[in-house]
Amino acid sequence: MKKTLFTGAATLALGAGAALAQDQDLSGQQLTISGPWIGADQVMVEKVLDVFREQTGADVRYVGSDSFEQQIVIDAEAGSAPNIAVFPQPGLAADMARRGFLSPLPEGTADWLEENYAAGESWRALGTYEGEDGEEHLYGFPYKIDVKSLVWYVPENFEDAGYEVPQTMEELKALTEQMVEDGETPWCIGLGAGGATGWPATDWVEDLVLRTQPPEVYDGWVSNEIPFDDPRIVEAIEEFGWFVRNDDFVSGGAGAVASTDYRDSPKGLFAAPPACYMHKMASFIPAFFPEGAVLGEDADFFYFPAYESRDLGTPVLGAGTLWAITNESEAADAFIEFLKTTDAHEAWMAQRGFLTPYKAVDTSVFSDPTLRKMNDILLEATTFRFDGSDLMPGAVGAGSFWTGMVDYTGGASAEDVAAAIQNSWAQVR
């Protein structure tokens, strides 16, 4: 017999082993939530919270901050943490779990993620950390995901040149070489970002580690159980080099990559004639496309493909948020159960800027067909891994990894760059 939790636009059919409670009347109970969203993003999350308010009667109060990462630590140390905190960085959540500032999520949530999210084990692992008791528990519920494994292109340019979207990495490399043979430039790549110059290259390398090695190698690399200068990581850096260190492959030549701002680099797609045909970047990059460019028409994207010969499935690199209980209450537990309903996901899907690996959602709810197409990539993923540089110590992930990739595009060897990054890691311990 099917049960339902929370009535509304959509209901969740509960399978065996799900540990969801029946509807709860939380009238008079206050639920406090703190997160990183302000401005337009806060308006959108409030609409999701409105659904929970309506269904339970809870008094939900959200506070957004652009310095959330610092404020949540201050509040937890002062004993004034909100009931729920929304973490953009798993590393911070893991640190707070170790310090005893997070409570394990309700029983059965880990199994629920594994059963109901595409690549479910990946999501379960992402939110599982060692607690103050020395044992591992699920502390973070993944909700609102971003996808980075994307290649952007102009469909009209492909059509005019007779090019087809590649389905495998082998085909992508062959297409790159074919474009050069045709007298065209395949890629626009820019690593410039002011004080953060080099970070776009980290996405390339992370995606290529996932496409050349099993996910356990990626995990070991991110935690440094596998050193940065391990031959398997060096191989991934050199795979990046195949694309970026060939003057014929990159608009402006390899020497221009580090000095080209990543926000300017996609402009070559829209030049006449095209300065390049492809640009690898995360889902946010259309914000830097020419004004009026219509996604799905003037610009589109395809999945940064996996190697057919490697047989490693369809891995996806991305980021997102994890919702954790920082101050236990009945309403906090009920809210985590609410996140297991399709209502909670579809309420944001109907707006913008939201992707989910939840297999039961109705993807026709997406207000934007481009988002629906991105979400299909997420749903078809066999493995999901969080941005590796964000999981590494700041001195590495937002330091030596960035500068090392600039050195590499400038001609340094992959072995020397990897060794230097590994040395920097040893210094932060």
77: part of which helix (H) or strand (E)?
helix 68-77
Shortest CA distance to 334 belongs to which of 16, 29, 17?
Answer: 29
Peptide bond preceding 273: is omega within 30 degrees of 0, i.e. cis?
A: yes
Separation CA 143–CA 340 (nearest Å): 10
Contact 335, 52 (CB under 8 A): yes
Domains of the chain: 30-146+319-386 (3.40.190.10), 150-315+388-427 (3.40.190.10)
DSSP assignment letter at 285? G
pLDDT tens for the chain, 429 residues: list them: 222 333 333 333 333 223 333 468 999 999 999 999 999 999 999 999 999 999 999 999 999 999 999 999 999 999 999 999 999 999 999 999 999 999 999 999 999 999 999 999 999 999 999 999 999 999 999 999 999 999 999 999 999 999 999 999 999 999 999 999 999 999 999 999 999 999 999 999 999 999 999 999 999 999 999 999 999 999 999 999 999 999 999 999 999 999 999 999 999 999 999 999 999 999 999 999 999 999 999 999 999 999 999 999 999 999 999 999 999 999 999 999 999 999 999 999 999 999 999 999 999 999 889 999 999 999 999 999 999 999 999 999 999 999 999 999 999 999 999 999 999 998 886
Residue with tokens 């990054």: 421
Name the strand (E) or helix (H) holding 281. Answer: none
Cβ pair 105, 139 in contact under 8 A: yes
End-to-end distance of the chain based on CA atoms, in angstroms?
A: 54
Residues 207 and 25: their CA atoms lie apart, in Å, by: 45
- pTM of the model as a whole: 0.92
